[in-house]
């Protein structure tokens, strides 16, 4: 009786016959394929078998060495001391002046400490005494009110107690008539000078709109003449209108006291809308005329929109490197897309 398992082929022979039938190989090609496959498998596994076991790295020793080197460098480092070419001046500490209760007083007899005792800052007290000495004494309250740096709130608190008239008396400039000669009466009546061609500026000026004022209104402020008022209007037209009173300080070569006067006697309406800049369509000649753009930034804006297309929103301008945060904040209210 024969063994039934003897006639069954082995698994390796069955695998070889399947490869021969699937790929159409001969016996030699099948043997070569199997050998090549085993060599490729050995090539992939061999690096893992031959790789040495890496030792465990402990960074504590290296960290201690680095700490020692850092301590040695810190011990060797000596701060460099430089002698100043300009010796520093030491100022004595200013003693606080006690306040006094307000009562009627003569401003021509007060010392700086007396003004400080009535609520004025130290530098304003020094300035008001110096101004009094220069003009030879105060004759009216309006002279004190015109002192540079004196807050209006402080003046309003002190004005009822100042023992002086509100305004200066009207001045009549007269000269003696000597044309009659020595035989005539020497005590001739005085004749008045010709009237002044410059109109006297108002003492109490009502605030006016900074964006609607013309040169005539600007000239009502003390210290502003025809040339400066024309500069103010020209700057406002180039800017497209003021949105804050502080912008008058950006006008070139404008004295600080005139800036304070402009901020005192002018205002900007809450609903005012400035003239916008169309950064996507404006030419370089139009862009450079705006005080916040100029020629340099205008060239960059024109080149940027030609290369990257039109700007879609204000934040797109932040891609221009020469436009810093302060310049962007001033320019943003005037942009239109």
More confident residue, 86 or 29: 29
More confident residue, 88 or 247: 247
Cβ neighbours of 314 (radius 10 Å): 15
Per-residue pLDDT averaged across 213-233, rounded? Answer: 89
Is the per-residue pLDDT at 202 higher than 80? no
Establish whether domains 208-267 and 277-336 are of one fold.
Answer: yes
Pairing of β 191-192 and β 174-175: antiparallel
Per-residue pLDDT averaged across 96-120, rounded? Answer: 88
Handedness of CA 128, 132, 134, 140 (dihedral sign): positive
What percentage of the chain reaches a pLDDT higher than 90?
A: 7
Any idea where the domains of the chain sit in the sequence? 107-161, 208-267, 277-336
Look-up of token digits 């400035």? 274
Taking the CA atoms of residue 110, residue 111, residue 116 and residue 122 in that order, the dihedral angle to the nearest 10 degrees is 140
Per-residue pLDDT averaged across 244-260, rounded? Answer: 86
Residues forming a β-bridge with 335: 277
Report residue 314: phi and psi, to 5°: -65, -35
Q: Which two tokens stand for residue 57?
A: 């790295």
Is the per-residue pLDDT at 54 higher than 80? no
Asked whether 264 and 289 are in contact (CB, 8 A), the reply is: no
Residue 237, pLDDT score: 92
The burial of 287, by beta-carbon neighbours within 10 Å (0-12 exposed, 13-18 middle, 19 or more buried), is given as buried
Give 182's DSSP letter: T
Cβ contacts of 273 within 8 Å, gap of 6 or more: 241
Would you place residue 5 in the very low, low, confident or very high pLDDT band (cuts 50, 70, 90)?
A: very low
Per-residue pLDDT averaged across 57-64, rounded? Answer: 84
The burial of 292, by beta-carbon neighbours within 10 Å (0-12 exposed, 13-18 middle, 19 or more buried), is given as buried
Residue 192, pLDDT score: 46
What is the C-alpha separation between 150 and 146, in angstroms, rounded?
Answer: 8
Residue 199, pLDDT score: 59
Q: pLDDT tens digit string along 285-334? A: 999 899 999 999 999 999 988 988 888 888 888 888 888 888 888 898 88
Name the CATH topology of 277-336: DNA polymerase; domain 1 (1.10.150)
Is the per-residue pLDDT at 181 higher than 60? no
Would you place residue 91 in the very low, low, confident or very high pLDDT band (cuts 50, 70, 90)?
A: low
Three-state DSSP class for 16?
helix
Q: pLDDT tens digit string along 266-297? A: 989 888 889 989 888 889 999 989 999 999 99
If you average pLDDT over every residue of the chain, what do you get?
81
Would you place residue 258 in the very low, low, confident or very high pLDDT band (cuts 50, 70, 90)?
A: confident
Across the chain, how many H-helices and E-strands are there?
A: 13, 6
User: In CATH terms, is domain 208-267 a member of 1.10.287?
Assistant: no
Q: Which two tokens stand for residue 114?
A: 């007396």
Asked whether 131 and 154 are in contact (CB, 8 A), the reply is: no
């Amino acid at each position: 009786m024969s063994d039934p398992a003897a006639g069954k082929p082995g698994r390796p022979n069955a695998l070889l016959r399947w490869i021969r039938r699937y790929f159409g190989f001969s016996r030699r090609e099948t043997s070569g394929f199997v050998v090549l496959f085993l060599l490729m498998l050995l090539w992939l596994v061999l690096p893992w078998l031959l790789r040495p076991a890496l030792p465990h790295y402990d960074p504590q020793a290296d960290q201690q060495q680095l700490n020692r080197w850092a301590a040695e460098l810190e011990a060797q480092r000596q701060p460099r001391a430089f002698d100043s070419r300009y010796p520093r001046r030491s100022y004595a500490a200013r003693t606080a002046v006690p306040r006094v209760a307000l009562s009627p007083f003569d401003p021509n007899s007060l010392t700086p400490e007396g003004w400080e005792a009535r609520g004025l800052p130290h530098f304003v007290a020094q300035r008001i005494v110096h101004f009094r000495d220069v003009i030879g004494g105060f004759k009216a309250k309006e002279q004190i009110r015109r002192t540079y740096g004196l807050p209006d709130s402080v003046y309003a608190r002190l004005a009822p107690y100042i023992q002086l008239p509100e305004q200066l008396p009207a001045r009549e400039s007269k000269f003696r008539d000597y044309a009659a000669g020595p035989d005539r009466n020497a005590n001739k009546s005085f004749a008045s000078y010709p009237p002044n061609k410059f109109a006297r500026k108002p003492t109490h000026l009502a605030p006016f709109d900074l964006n609607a004022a013309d040169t005539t209104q600007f000239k009502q402020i003390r210290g502003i003449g025809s040339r400066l008022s024309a500069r103010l209007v020209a700057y406002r037209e180039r800017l497209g209108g003021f949105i804050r009173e502080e912008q008058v300080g950006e006008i070139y070569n404008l004295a600080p006291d005139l800036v304070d006067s402009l901020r005192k006697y002018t205002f900007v309406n809450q609903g005012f809308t400035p003239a916008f800049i169309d950064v996507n369509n404006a030419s370089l000649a139009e862009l450079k005329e705006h005080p916040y753009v100029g020629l340099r930034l205008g060239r960059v804006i024109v080149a940027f929109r030609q290369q990257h297309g039109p700007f879609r929103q204000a934040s797109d301008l932040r891609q221009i490197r020469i436009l810093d945060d302060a310049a962007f904040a001033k320019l943003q209210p005037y942009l239109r897309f």
